[in-house]
Amino acid sequence: MSPRSDGGSPITGYLVEMKESLGTRWIRATRRHIHDTNITIPNLSTGKQYKFRVIAENDIGQSEAGPASSPVLVKAPEEVADFTQMLQDTTAKAGQTIVLECRVSNPKAEVKWYKNGYQLFTYDRIKVSSEGQRRAITIKKVEARDYGLYECSVVN
């Protein structure tokens, strides 16, 4: 969010200050002035709460610090997942069981399965499974209606 007034001189940057939620001393959250209105603050402690405030800067000087944010709880970052093994082209004859399989980098990752753009779920002859990094869909007693483009996608 930009400041309400720039005092007649364009804003040249911002300083971000932070403190532990119950602390009394404000410290700089970044070493350099930032020029964007979004920032990622590194090296915060997981499980602690922090408050932040911003000071605008221009050729005239620095503004007073803006109001402190509400407390922000730092959570452990969620690991994103990528495919480590992609689906292979597969064929099957009528009546056979076929297993389509992929592997993901994060064992907690959720994978969604699609056939011709429509999401698939476990039902009747189809079983969606997840074990460790392996993700699979099993189709029992393959029929002509099972022919199509199957895809899996990671939900990050």
For 115-153, what is each residue's pLDDT tens digit? 999 999 999 999 999 999 999 999 999 999 999 999 999
Contact 14, 33 (CB under 8 A): yes
Q: At CB < 8 A and 24+ separation, what contacts does 26-29 make? A: 26/53, 26/65
- CA angle (127, 130, 136) in 5-degree steps: 55
**CA nearest neighbour of 9 among 49, 61, 50, 55:** 61
Q: Do domains 11-73 and 83-155 have the same CATH topology?
A: yes
Please give the sequence-ordered ranges of beta strands (E in DSSP) within 9-105, or none if there are none: 11-20, 27-28, 49-58, 61-62, 72-73, 83-85, 98-104
Domain coordinates in residue numbering, the chain: 11-73, 83-155
pLDDT for residue 6: 63
**Mapping DSSP to helix (H, G, I), strand (E, B) and coil, where does residue 8 land?**
coil
Superfamily of domain 83-155: Immunoglobulins (2.60.40.10)
Is the pTM higher than 0.95? The answer reads: no
**CATH number for the segment(s) 11-73:** 2.60.40.10
Contact 28, 65 (CB under 8 A): no
pLDDT tens for 18-58 read 999 999 999 999 888 888 878 888 889 988 999 999 998 88
